[in-house]
Amino acid sequence: MSHFETILLERKGRVGVITLNRPKALNALNAQLMGEVVAAVVDLEREPEIGAILITGSERAFAAGADIKEMAPKSYMDMYLDDWFAAWDRLASARKPTIAAVAGYALGGGCELAMLCDIILAADNAKFGQPEIKLGVIPGIGGSQRLTRAVGKAKAMDLCLTGRNMDAEEAERAGLVSRIVPAADLLTEAMATATTIAEMSLPIAMMAKESVNRSFETTLAEGVRFERRVFHSTFATADQKEGMAAFVDKRAPKFTNS
């Protein structure tokens, strides 16, 4: 178990599980929680036996947004000088695969936290939205950018300008979430997905993640060139030799992360 106060951190096999744990505030993301999630991610990134990171909340709320009560009295200078929310960039730059298992509310910063992860699995009761406009602010953890890339301009504008929620089905249709599962099965399914990924070769999974992410940052031609170079580099690994030998021998591969 963990020494954290606003999250639980567990290692389950090769999966690091971060559970947001401020139930009375529907897991609102205050500065302490942000610091603890980031510290947990830094720890898990350092641990060679961890191959994937799962972030989840409760059945009622993944996270109902940044902590409004904490932010309400702040001035422009408070926000600017502290570079409020910038610490979340560390999650965006995690090199190991990250999965968000979302049940209940994923609003504002909660939706943005899910979008900082590589894959979003949604329970059938999940609700996504960027309601900041109703508070007189706009998204501040990348929502206007990542939501637009995930679901396109029309729906991102609709959500950011009206502040309405979108249910799990709409989120799946729009391409925000990879799969919907019954709420009761969310953690089991998410653990199964995380374990599948964590049992692959870690360096190869990291290269796959880096290559997909590159598509958000560059042109198609440059992205394809980047992918090809990384693909070539997989042939410098023992895991490429093992993966292909195992296929030829009709057996399961034993990856050594080397």
Among 65, 99, 191, 201, binds ligand CAA (CB under 6 A): 65
Residue of 112, 114, 140, 194 with catalytic role:
112
**108 lines the binding site for ligand CAA (CB under 6 A):** yes
Torsion angle in degrees (nearest 10) through CA of 140, 16, 56, 38: -20
**131 lines the binding site for ligand CAA (CB under 6 A):** yes
Residue 7 bridge partners (DSSP): 20
Torsion angle in degrees (nearest 10) through CA of 186, 198, 93, 147: -30
**38 lines the binding site for ligand CAA (CB under 6 A):** no
Name the minimum Å distance from CB 111 to ligand CAA.
8
**140 lines the binding site for ligand CAA (CB under 6 A):** yes
Alpha-carbon gap, residue 240 to 257, rounded angstroms: 10
Helix (H) / strand (E) element for 189: namely: helix 186-198
Residue of 186, 194, 128 lying closest to 159 (CA atoms) = 128
The tokens of 1 are what? 């178990």
Name the minimum Å distance from CB 21 to ligand CAA.
14
**115 lines the binding site for ligand CAA (CB under 6 A):** no
Q: How far apart are the first and last CA of the chain?
A: 29
| Chain centre distance of CA 208 | 15
Residue of 132, 168, 171, 190 with catalytic role:
132
Name the minimum Å distance from CB 24 to ligand CAA.
6
Give the count of residues interacting with ligand CAA (CB under 6 A). Answer: 21
Residue whose CB is less far from ligand CAA, 112 or 118: 112
Alpha-carbon gap, residue 129 to 166, rounded angstroms: 6
Give the binding range for ligand CAA (CB under 6 A) out of 35-43, 107-115, 211-219, 224-232. Answer: 107-115
Please state, as a whole number, how many other Cβ atoms lie within 10 Å of the Cβ of residue 113: 29
**Helix/strand/coil for 108:** coil
Among 15, 64, 151, 205, binds ligand CAA (CB under 6 A): 64
**194 lines the binding site for ligand CAA (CB under 6 A):** no
**57 lines the binding site for ligand CAA (CB under 6 A):** no
Which residues bind to ligand CAA, rule: CB under 6 A?
Answer: 25-26, 28, 64-69, 105, 107-109, 112, 131-132, 135, 139-141, 143
